[in-house]
Amino acid sequence: MSLTPQELEQFDTLGYVVKPGVYSSSDLDPIKRAIDALVTQEAEQLREEGALDDILETEPFETRLYKLAQTNFAAAESIYAALQGKGGGGYSGPEMFDMVRHPALLSCVESIIGPEIVGSSVYRIRPKLPHWAHGEVPWHQDSGYTMAHCDRYLVVTCWIPLVDATIENGCLYVVPGVHKGGVFDHYTGGHGGFLEIPKQSLPGVEAAVPVEMKAGSVLFLTNTTPHASFDNNTEIVRWSMDLRYQSSDVPNNVGETPQDHTPEREPVTMACYPHEADFVLQSPSQPERVVATAEDFHRLRGIYEHGRVEAPGRGWTPLAKRETAET
């Protein structure tokens, strides 16, 4: 599987494209079971602490975290935080490794960036709970979260719903065709604590497109494509994942350790997101660099998870200081 010429043209012109059926239901089952096991692990701990009476083990994947939230919302938020880890890529088990190196997905990515593929350190598991204010993510570009010297490079975001994504449960919205205009000003203190591009500063936002998708489809975005997601008004959790890929000529931290990131180091020498480990997934020119096993993947990710890198941020102006900004 790869992107067709027509799909590649849309990706280049509009900044996004959807590829249906990249993952089958059976492809998604292992990661869903792994996530559910993590929910069980954290819920059991909370039960031991007296925060939960029932961990709802028989509740379906699509509704369990929401049902737990109805019992004790603070407990559900604690489970969410545990899923995220220190930076967001906290889970690095074999099921995650299988997701990031899924052959059909890498084939599509290769058609965009070529055969030398580095897995970007920024991957996330995202549960959007029903009727949860923090689940709404305001308008932003992924480049708003990475180092400024990487703005001129392409980092491909692959957004993968684990359940069907609809307008009602909070699918992504994208602003088509403005991704070649650079990185817009982002401000801290936006909705839910996220970075935010105020709507009046975002050209074309009135033409934003909702992207409804079946589970296992993949939405491919550039790192400068503005996108957002809004309320989940259903009774199920809109579980999704976002994975990111870049070519080997994009700044990365392959071969480095957290100890290489000293306060004196020049930011322009760092990876686009130095806080977490990048990893080589495909390299015809240097196959020995490929992270080939789940054990190596877990070990590499753990080095950064436990030896957290503190790198300089982009220094955006707080949203509260802009009198005209929308919150």
Domain boundaries, the chain: 5-25+89-321
Neighbouring C-alpha atoms within 13 Å toward the C-beta of 236 = 17
Please report the pLDDT score of residue 88 as a whole number. Answer: 47
The residue ranges of the chain whose pLDDT is under 50 are 87-88, 320-327
Q: Are 274 and 150 in contact (CB under 8 A)?
A: no
CA dihedral (54, 55, 57, 61) positive or negative? positive
Please report the pLDDT score of residue 313 as a whole number. Answer: 61
Comparing CA positions, the residue from 59, 72, 61 lying closest to residue 34 is: 61
Could you read off the pLDDT of 293-305 as tens digits, one per residue?
999 999 988 888 7
Q: Are 3 and 17 in contact (CB under 8 A)?
A: yes
Please report the pLDDT score of residue 13 as a whole number. Answer: 98
Instruction: State the greatest distance between any 2 C-alpha atoms of the chain, in Å, as a whole number.
Output: 56
DSSP-assigned letters across all residues of 205-218? GGG-EEE-B-TT-E
Please report the pLDDT score of residue 317 as a whole number. Answer: 55
**Superfamily for the 5-25+89-321 domain:** q2cbj1_9rhob like domain (2.60.120.620)
Please report the pLDDT score of residue 322 as a whole number. Answer: 33
Please report the pLDDT score of residue 314 as a whole number. Answer: 63
Please report the pLDDT score of residue 178 as a whole number. Answer: 97
What's the pTM?
0.92
